[in-house]
Structure 1
Amino acid sequence: MARRRKKHDHEEHVDESWLIPYADILTLLLALFIVLFASSSIDVKKFQLMSSAFNEIFVGGPGVMDYPSPVPESEADLGDDKQVQEQKLLTVDEIEAAKKKDRQELEELQKRVDGYIAANELQKQFATELTSEGLLLTIRDNVLFQSGSAVVGAKDQGVARELSGLLEMDTPRSVIISGHTDDVPISNANYESNWELSVMRAVNFMKIILKNQNLDPRWFSAKGFGEFKPLASNDTSEGRAENRRVEVLILPRMMQ
């Protein structure tokens, strides 16, 4: 019984071994924050500095909190802002100059097409317009097609071939040929809708254009819009006639 009443002369110390893994976790978390910060705008020099920071952390040397920054102030992004902005301004100037030259080339091409239209007295059937999308040539459908047909008439194939010659350019441009109709429902055995008719008219006209071996087919595409992009009201015969058309869009090299 005397042994049970025996008292120790010293008190037990609290076990502090948990502090070691806790400190390691804090160190790893701080290292993670360094990685996230540096990776947001990393370059070679920043990566090297970040590597040095990790070496100091895991090999020895200054603690994480003592490391000033993975990016020295002398190399901060703000120091390069002026140079970057100057490069951007120079690039903008070059782009604007290219756009101006591109526009001038399209204006010259429009003059050539307008000259062909005037020489052949085709002002009522053809029209050109220089838009932000490019040089647009509009051809009334009765110039090329019979009603409800997508076959280019024999007498009009010569017109298509003449136009193909005007599309010859030293530096090719993308050309989109599109077909459009009025909203009168089509009813024949060949086409179930105006949409199909408009597509085939664009394709057949493009085929004749591309018989010109000086043109590269890779720069051409065809679309059909049916009655869904009218220029005028379909309530009148004049409006419907205006909506029935084939358009040749010559794209700019520099987008506006």
Structure 2
Amino acid sequence: MSRRKKKDKGEEHIDESWLLPYADLLTLLLALFIVLYSSSSIDAQKFQEISRAFNSAFTGGTGIFEFPSPMPEGQMQTSDVDKKDEVNKENEEKEKEFKHQADQQELATIQNKVNTYIEKNRLSDKLETSLTVEGLLVSIRDNVLFSPGSADVRPNDLKIANEIAELLVMEPPRNIIISGHTDNVPIGNAPFESNWELSVMRAINFMKIVLKNDKLDPRWFSAKGFGEYQPVASNDSSQGRAKNRRVEILILPRIGS
């Protein structure tokens, strides 16, 4: 009888080498489902983060996670440009608002200076200021500067006109509009055919005196006449007509509102 050969111990042990590729396959499938789930939210940033994470984990693989984004390259670039434009627009709006607030604060400082002058000279019944969206408005009653029906500043009032001119000295300078206004009572003086002409000449003559101040640049000044067409009170009473007869100085903001 032939003797049976003794089997090696290795032949009795079951070969388990197939487990390694099987485990790798399961891992890859799990990773694939995670990527598919994540990409369904169309979140480009998350997809890129996941891609980088798996590329680091599977450095020896075929690079199936090396796609930068589920979105086309051109669309991604457009999205980035839109976001950049939006950020730039927000920054511009913030900068504009900051400059506007600083400008309003500067106008408020000028207003305080004018109000101090008014209080010191007891002119509160003849001059007044108001800060509006158009700028700082200084209103001067016509009886402070002019005789009834006249466009010439009275010699006795030249001192007030010169002091107001000194208040308009600013660095850097601002655009200033001087305007004349009247009530609705028809004018009977020969030199002027209408209140409109009277208002224009009052604004011009007052501006001429203001610009005698060497610290002021005429390029920043302009004059207008509105006649009776921009009243601030009713012309039905003498008090209202007195308020409407005025010269206004509008100090404009540097930044648009």
| Fold agreement, TM-score > 0.5 | yes
Q: Which residue matches 2:121?
A: 120
Q: Which residue matches 1:89?
A: 90
Q: Which residue matches 2:151?
A: 150
Q: Which residue matches 1:247?
A: 248
Q: Which residue matches 2:219?
A: 218
Q: Which residue matches 1:178?
A: 179
Q: Which residue matches 2:162?
A: 161
Q: CA separation in 2, counterparts of 1:193 and 1:231?
A: 19
Q: CA separation in 1, counterparts of 2:110 and 2:185?
A: 35
Q: CA separation in 1, counterparts of 2:150 and 2:164?
A: 21
Q: Which residue matches 2:6?
A: none
Q: CA separation in 1, counterparts of 2:120 and 2:189?
A: 37
Residue 73 of structure 1: how far off its partner (Å): 2.0
Residue 173 of structure 1: how far off its partner (Å): 0.4
Q: CA separation in 1, counterparts of 2:128 and 2:216?
A: 22
Structure 1: gaps spanning 5 or more residues: 1-71
Q: Give deviations 1:151-195, integer Å, cap 9, x for gaps.
A: 000011111110111111111000000000000001111000000
Q: Give me the TM-score of the superposition, normalised by structure 1.
A: 0.71
Residue 97 of structure 1: how far off its partner (Å): 0.6
Is 2:152 aligned against 1:139? Answer: no
SS in 2 for 1:226: coil
Q: CA separation in 2, counterparts of 1:210 and 1:88?
A: 41
Q: CA separation in 1, counterparts of 2:241 and 2:78?
A: 61
Q: CA separation in 2, counterparts of 1:183 and 1:77?
A: 62
Residue 113 of structure 1: how far off its partner (Å): 0.3
Residue 74 of structure 1: how far off its partner (Å): 4.8
Q: Which residue matches 2:4?
A: none
Q: Give me the TM-score of the superposition, normalised by structure 2.
A: 0.70
Structure 2: gaps spanning 5 or more residues: 1-72
Q: Which residue matches 1:103?
A: 104
Query: Which AA in structure 2 matches 1:138?
Result: S
Q: CA separation in 1, counterparts of 2:186 and 2:134?
A: 30
SS in 2 for 1:148: coil
SS in 1 for 2:107: helix
SS in 2 for 1:246: strand
Residue 75 of structure 1: how far off its partner (Å): 6.9
Residue 204 of structure 1: how far off its partner (Å): 0.3
RMSD of aligned residue pairs (Cα, Å) = 1.3
Q: CA separation in 1, counterparts of 2:201 and 2:166?
A: 22
Q: CA separation in 2, counterparts of 1:159 and 1:178?
A: 17
Q: Give deviations 1:85-140, integer Å, cap 9, x for gaps.
A: 00011111111110111011001000100000001000100000001110000000
SS in 2 for 1:229: coil
Residue 76 of structure 1: how far off its partner (Å): 5.3
Q: CA separation in 1, counterparts of 2:78 and 2:253?
A: 37
Q: CA separation in 1, counterparts of 2:76 and 2:213?
A: 59
Q: CA separation in 1, counterparts of 2:76 and 2:200?
A: 59
Query: Which AA in structure 2 matches 1:170?
Result: E
Q: Give deviations 1:184-219, integer Å, cap 9, x for gaps.
A: 001111000000000000000000000001100000
Query: Which AA in structure 2 matches 1:111?
Result: N
Q: How many residues align?
A: 186
Residue 79 of structure 1: how far off its partner (Å): 3.2
SS in 2 for 1:254: coil
SS in 2 for 1:128: strand
